[in-house]
Structures are given as C-alpha cells and as structure tokens.
Structure 1
Amino acid sequence: MRMLLKVQMDTPTSNEAIKQGTLPKIMEAAMEELRPEAAYFGAEDGCRTAYIFFDLADPSQLPKFSEPFFLQLGAKVSYRPVMNREDLAKGLAAIMPGS
C-alpha cells in the first residue's frame, strides 16, 4: 500500500544532529530502508519535516521505519495511506454506476 510518512523532527535534537554531522546519515539510512517513490523536505509547524512516499508491504515494518526517527531525532511520526492518479482513477471506476 502506498503511504505518506510524515516525520516532524524535534528542533533541538535535529540541530544537534546537524552540528554532529549525523542528520544526513540518518536520512540516507532511512531512504535506503524505505526506498521511497518520492521524498520532500520542508518546514511545518516550525519543525524540519520530511514527507516520504513509499510502498508499505507489511504493517509489521512500521516499527523498523519509525524507530530511527523517534530515537535519533525525537521526531513526531505519522502515516497516511495515499493514492496516485492511477489509483484514484481505478477507485472511482469501481464505484461508477454500471461498473
């Protein structure tokens, strides 16, 4: 299932990760593990925030994906199922009269 993983990093903790040079390593390790379709970075609610779109093959993977962000960045982590354009078209076609 295609998911949006939102990671809001704690500012003091991520500041320290930047000073220590570990933030790029943490993010690179996450990208290798998640193999995202896309990843975007910005600020939300005054926090460094990552928006990572990836395929979740099994819900049991959630701790493996979440814990590095919790433990290393003091992050708030949330997941949301999402669709791309083709998924939306398929879903709408399934509810159209006469389908």
Structure 2
Amino acid sequence: MLKFTIPVDSGNLAARNGRMEKAIESIIDATNAEAAYFTMIDGERGGYIFFEESDQAQLIHLTESLMAALDAAIEIVPALSLDDLKRGMPN
C-alpha cells in the first residue's frame, strides 16, 4: 500500500495547473492499482493506493514521480489480503 500526503501550498498550485490530476492518474496506471482512496490526512490532501509489486526496485520509479510532481510525502506499507494472511498463519 502506498500512502501519500501533499502539502497544502503545493497541492493548491498542482490542482490549479492540472499537475495533480496527471500525477495521480499516472501512478494509478503505473501500479495497476487494485483500489485507490483519497482523503484528508493531518490537514493535507492524501490518499491510499493498493497495488501488488514483486520487484521492489520499481517502488523508486513510482515514488520519485509523485514526489517530484506534487512534493508528496510517501510511505510504503505492506498490506495483506485475507488469503495472504491465512497462508502466513501457522497451522
């Protein structure tokens, strides 16, 4: 899961000039996101993008583009489906 926040000033500028929409659509497409949710996080624009990635090196490309375009702060957090959790639990 990728969690991101966008500072208010950077977000206002990016929303006005169309950069925000392009940057978010780009990361949704690049991750082939299973789900994406957008909300306020600590008073800033933010969101959660759920996707699968087996090549950890690809995370650099994904995060750098969002940070560069929107001055976003990003956290990558492992997230398990119920099936993944069940597979990982001891019998």
- Please indicate, yes or no, whether the TM-score normalized by the shorter chain is above 0.5: yes
TM, length-normalised to structure 2: 0.93
Aligned length: 91
TM, length-normalised to structure 1: 0.86
Alpha-carbon RMSD across the aligned residues, in angstroms, is: 1.0
* Equivalent residue, structure 2, for 1:31: 28
Unaligned runs of 5+ in 1: none
Task: Choose 1 or 2 for highest CA Rg.
Answer: 1
State yes or no: 1:52 paired with 2:44: no
Cα distance in 1 for partners of 2:57, 2:13 equals 30
Unaligned runs of 5+ in 2: none
Matched AA of 1:37: E
- Of 17, 21, 31, which residue of structure 2 is paired with 1:20? 17
Report percent identity of matched pairs. 32
State yes or no: 1:70 paired with 2:57: no
Cα distance in 2 for partners of 1:72, 1:10 equals 12
